Amino acid sequence: MSRRINQSRRRFLQQSTAAAATGVGAPLLLPGHVLGLDGAVGPNDQIGMAGVGVGRRGGGVFNSACSKKETRAVAVADVFEKTAQRMASRTKCDAYTDYRKLLERKDVDAITTATPDHWRALVTIHACQAGKDVYAEKPLTLTILEGRRMVQAARKHGRIVQTGSQQRSMAANRFGCELVRNGKIGRIKEVRGANYPSPWTFTFEAQPVPEGLDWDVWCGPVVVQPYHPDLCGPRRNPGWISHRLFSGGEVTGWGAHGIDQIQWALGKDDTGPTEIWTEGEPFEEPHFTEPHGRGAGEGKTRQPIVHFRYADGTPVVMDGGNPGGGLFLGEDGKIEIFRNRIGTNPGELKDEKIADDEIHLEVSGDHMQNWIDCIKSRELPIADVETGHRSATVCHLINIARWTGRRLKWDPQKEQFIGDEDANQYLDVERRKGYELPAV
């Protein structure tokens, strides 16, 4: 039996036990569908695949899922009818504008979803409740509470949920993390991450809503904003990724990649920092009323600099690293993990071999295939929903530290700030009626 399967099973049991102990989840039960019973996917069945949100990124993710020999396209859903129809025509499947109709289909076994961030939790939880496995793009969440609810839903309904943190399936990234984990540069004295900009707000003069786009549903849980193409696109002028109501900015955009690598390299997939604070000028959130390039807002929202520390004392400063990973400064050298490559000092570390008796991290050469394989085996995928939630949580903590402007103490087990009810108000957001976060 492979190391990957052993590690996955052990991690699954550890997380389920921890969830029961802390009251944030239920003990894992294995219903019949886990074994391929009750109409669920069996080991030799083809997986009926659906896509929710199949525009720019979502279309690519759905196409990737449907390109595998183990899958077949069944249906897509998108609030922009033209987008849904176009993808359905390409993949010869059915089109919907309401994803809930798609989830009712018994021939849909699994879904991919790459909606804007403010929709990710609702789609994922509803899919789990409907008995569908899920590939959810990063960043996994808009808030910390959403992530815990997503984990609970996946565990309660026995679903396989993969986070789209593709760098976990890149060999160079895995090797860099293994070097750090195995102490190849000695004790880690400091980690430096990128100084990602936080989101801000902007309100543009309303433009005509394109025919076939249900803008009210696009806004979903958020109070409906005036439609403008430079809000509707992800990274435009500046796009919804920069808008605080819809996203955590590049702190969760690129930060979901970089922070995830820091978590992986330090072995923190089941926890997070215990202290977080800022240094520098106080955060001043701009508000713009005219479209503009992202630079104007990002320049203002990179301050102050954020620091955090794990329970074992490892300090991280979000200034001086690269967006795809982090710079690890050890007693005997340094390792920088980028996107699909690493740099080392001393240079010969790149040729280091990880011995059989050292720590080997899970191997996946294809992120989508890893998810599909796990749908068949019912093992946890390499970027399981708990892992994605923990990495996203650190991103959210960075934003909250800037918004509050004070030193915060974080309990990564209870997932609450200690002695700071004001900071705890940021764990979730208000939602419009009809778009409430489901109880699981």
DSSP secondary structure string, 287-354?
A: EESS---HHHHHHHTT-SEEEEE-TT--EEESSSS-TTSEEEEETTEEEEE-SS-EEEESGGGGG---
Alpha-carbon gap, residue 50 to 56, rounded angstroms: 16
Token pair of 180, please?
């750090």
The helix/strand/coil state of 265 is helix
Q: Per residue in 259-315, pLDDT tens?
A: 999 999 999 999 999 999 999 999 999 999 999 999 999 999 999 999 999 999 999
- Report whether 261 contacts 177 (CB < 8 A): yes
Query: What's the DSSP call for residue 41?
Result: P
Alpha-carbon gap, residue 193 to 185, rounded angstroms: 18
Q: Where do you find CATH 3.40.50.720 in the chain? A: 3-168
Of all helices (H) and strands (E), which one includes residue 113?
strand 110-113
Task: Pick the closest to residue 244 from 227, 272, 223, 229 (CA basis).
Answer: 223
Residues of the chain with pLDDT > 90, as a percent, come to: 89
Determine how β-strand 188-192 pairs with β-strand 315-317. parallel
pTM of this prediction? 0.91
Extract the residue ranges of the chain whose pLDDT is less than 50: 1-39
Alpha-carbon gap, residue 291 to 370, rounded angstroms: 40
How far apart are the two ends of the chain, measured CA to CA in Å? 34
Token pair of 201, please?
């707000």
pLDDT of residue 413: 98
Residues of the chain with pLDDT > 70, as a percent, come to: 90
Q: Where do you find CATH 3.30.360.10 in the chain? A: 171-360+387-418
In 212-332, beta strands by DSSP E: 275-279, 287-288, 305-309, 315-317, 326-330
Return the CATH superfamily for domain 3-168. Answer: NAD(P)-binding Rossmann-like Domain (3.40.50.720)
Alpha-carbon gap, residue 327 to 344, rounded angstroms: 10
Alpha-carbon gap, residue 262 to 17, rounded angstroms: 25
Residue tagged 């389920």 (tokens): 16
The CATH number fitting domain 171-360+387-418, selected from 1.10.3720.10, 3.40.47.10, 3.40.1260.10, 3.30.360.10: 3.30.360.10
Task: Pick the closest to residue 73 from 47, 96, 100, 101 (CA basis).
Answer: 47
Alpha-carbon gap, residue 76 to 111, rounded angstroms: 9
Task: Pick the closest to residue 215 from 227, 202, 206, 203 (CA basis).
Answer: 227
Determine how β-strand 94-96 pairs with β-strand 161-163. unpaired
Determine how β-strand 416-417 pairs with β-strand 408-411. antiparallel
Give the list of residues 6+ apart from residue 94 with CB closer than 8 angstroms, or none.
74, 75, 76, 88
